[in-house]
Amino acid sequence: MSSPVVTRIAPSPTGSMHIGNARSALFNWLYAKHTGGKFLLRVEDTDRERSTEASVQVIFDSLTWLGLMWDGEPVFQFARAPIHKAAVQRLLDAGHAYHDYLTVAEADALKEESRAAGHALRSPWRDRKPGPTEEGKPHVIRFRTPDEGDTVVEDKVRGTVRFPNKDIEDFVLMRTDGTVIYNLAVTVDDHDMGVTHVIRGEEHLSNGGRQTLLYKALGWDVPVFAHLPLILGKDGGKLSKRHGAQSVGDFREMGYLPEGVRNYLAKLGWGHGDDELFTDEEAIAWFDVVDVVKAGARLDFDKLNHVNNWHIRRADDTRLAELVLPILRDERHLALPDDALARLEAAIPLVKEGAKTLQELADLSLYAIKVRPLALDDKTIGNLTDETRGRLARLVEALRGANDWTPQGLQDLLKAFAESEGVGLGKIGPALRGVLSGGVQAPDLGSALASLGRDESIGRIQDALSHLR
């Protein structure tokens, strides 16, 4: 019986979570969910200068916002340093590692000579025992790479990948200061955490060869590797600042929903037929790491906007209102009425179809939370002729008596009112829109009236009429 699947995400605390790391986290999470396994979190915090409490919190916040909750407690790599050093000693005892007393300059020169000879670095210290003159001297500990054959990585995305051992140098396991290098720490941590599937970016493919050597030297089962394609810019170039947002925080600030980001990121390197829009439940049911493609995936904001709009339209209106409110209050520093949340809840279902982001949804909902009396723009003032003002005053009476306060009922009322006035709706519509919205975006007149409510709608019209007397 095969062991349960255990995946992991192992970010370094750099102050932000790159969208590539987020995609890796998503694929690990999806595969764990798909197989009924576990998704673990390890914080690779060995760089003590960068690993501040705040930068670690960014990792937690990013994954939590994305909805990619890990199982169990996070593992912190730095705290496991004694375990890593014990593994190095085990490799030394088994003859798979050796003390190397080459200076940095000597090692660099030997690397050049080795390259010219057609193989990677092999230190002369791999066949020498340190003597009394070496005692106490600074040195590194290197892995003793086999001279012959290939190291083979069976990758679920790349297929069979061969690394000729002559091209793999005797890589450092422990530095002169006693700290271990990345590949050793990762191998030990993944083994001890029970990780069965290492799903990560293709930039780690060469590490897969070194880590395979370490697993075998330590007598451990090698996990399944799957190296994901790069995320590229829309132009096919390496993703950079010129392509726009790159971190999870950026996407959050731009107003994307976490489920929209999850849906879109899932499509960057994986797919299920022609399905572009899907729920988490569908993605979990469909996802298999063997279906990930090799080719780089392009980050296309037009497609992301399309996906996010679909999720906004599906989202609960109260939740959307609670997300839009702080944008208007905290980011835009607007004075809001006491019932702002209720107004947003009424407006959002009538306008969300046109919003690709929460920022756009805030723009489309702004009319609803304006505080009376509204400032009128020049265009609206110009439309409020004496004749139009008279009609709006009579419209107020019609609105007071309206029995059907729904978008369609109010649209029908406006049409009937215009006919009773002997004019088309275009004679009063522009002025009414300006009076109700204060000159910002608003839905059709029936929807605007319905979402504002009878008292607020009539109050806004009367404010405008009083202001212009």
What does the alpha-carbon distance between residue 327 and residue 331 come to, in Å, rounded to a whole number? Answer: 5
**Quick check: is 156 catalytic?**
no
CB of 43 within 8 A of CB of 11?
Answer: yes
Structure tokens at 436: 């109700």
Q: How many CA atoms lie within 13 A of 96 on its CB side?
A: 16
Which residues, 6+ apart, have CB-to-CB distance to 178 below 8 Å? 85
What does the alpha-carbon distance between residue 147 and residue 159 come to, in Å, rounded to a whole number? Answer: 24
Is the C-alpha dihedral spanning 400, 402, 407, 413 positive or negative? negative
Give the pTM.
Answer: 0.93
Which residues, 6+ apart, have CB-to-CB distance to 285 below 8 Å? 34
Q: Which mean pLDDT values do the consecutive 10-residue runs of the chain (469 residues) have?
A: 89 91 98 98 88 91 98 97 98 98 95 94 93 90 97 98 97 96 97 98 96 98 97 83 78 97 97 96 98 94 97 98 97 96 98 98 97 94 95 97 97 97 95 96 97 97 86
CA distances from 162 to 59, 167, 310, 388 (A): 34, 11, 43, 80
Given this model, what pLDDT does residue 241 score? 63
Given this model, what pLDDT does residue 468 score? 63
Given this model, what pLDDT does residue 242 score? 67
Which residues, 6+ apart, have CB-to-CB distance to 144 below 8 Å? 95, 96, 97, 98, 126, 170
Q: Is 265 left (phi over 0), alpha (psi -120 to 50) or beta?
A: alpha
Write down the catalytic residue from 241, 267, 356, 379. Answer: 241
**DSSP bridge partners of 8:** 40
Is the C-alpha dihedral spanning 168, 173, 179, 185 positive or negative? positive
What does the alpha-carbon distance between residue 91 and residue 104 come to, in Å, rounded to a whole number? Answer: 23
Task: Tell me the domains of the chain and their CATH numbers.
Answer: 80-228 (3.40.50.620), 315-371 (1.10.8), 378-467 (1.10.10.350)
Q: How many CB atoms lie within 10 A of CB 383?
A: 20
Given this model, what pLDDT does residue 324 score? 98
Whether the upstream peptide bond of residue 373 has omega within 30° of 0, thus cis, is yes
| Exposed/middle/buried for residue 260 (C-beta within 10 Å: 0-12, 13-18, 19+) | buried
Q: How many CB atoms lie within 10 A of CB 230?
A: 16
If DSSP codes are grouped into helix, strand and coil, which group holds residue 155? strand
Q: From edge to edge, which strands make up the β-sheet containing 6-9? A: 6-9, 38-43, 75-76
What does the alpha-carbon distance between residue 226 and residue 352 come to, in Å, rounded to a whole number? Answer: 39
In our burial notation (b when 16+ CB lie closer than 10 A, e otherwise), range 184-198 reads: bbbbbbbbebebbbb
Q: How many CB atoms lie within 10 A of CB 400?
A: 9
Which residues, 6+ apart, have CB-to-CB distance to 163 below 8 Å? 150, 151, 152, 153, 206, 209
Given this model, what pLDDT does residue 89 score? 98
What does the alpha-carbon distance between residue 184 and residue 422 come to, in Å, rounded to a whole number? Answer: 84
CB of 326 within 8 A of CB of 362?
Answer: no
Helix residue ranges per DSSP H, 273-428: 280-286, 301-314, 317-326, 340-351, 358-365, 378-383, 386-400, 407-421
Given this model, what pLDDT does residue 245 score? 62
CB of 156 within 8 A of CB of 292?
Answer: yes
Backbone angles phi, psi at 160, to 5 degrees: -80, 120
Which residues, 6+ apart, have CB-to-CB distance to 437 below 8 Å? 367, 370, 374, 448
CB of 8 within 8 A of CB of 28?
Answer: yes
Given this model, what pLDDT does residue 469 score? 58
Closest to 170 measured CA to CA, from 128, 226, 224, 221: 128
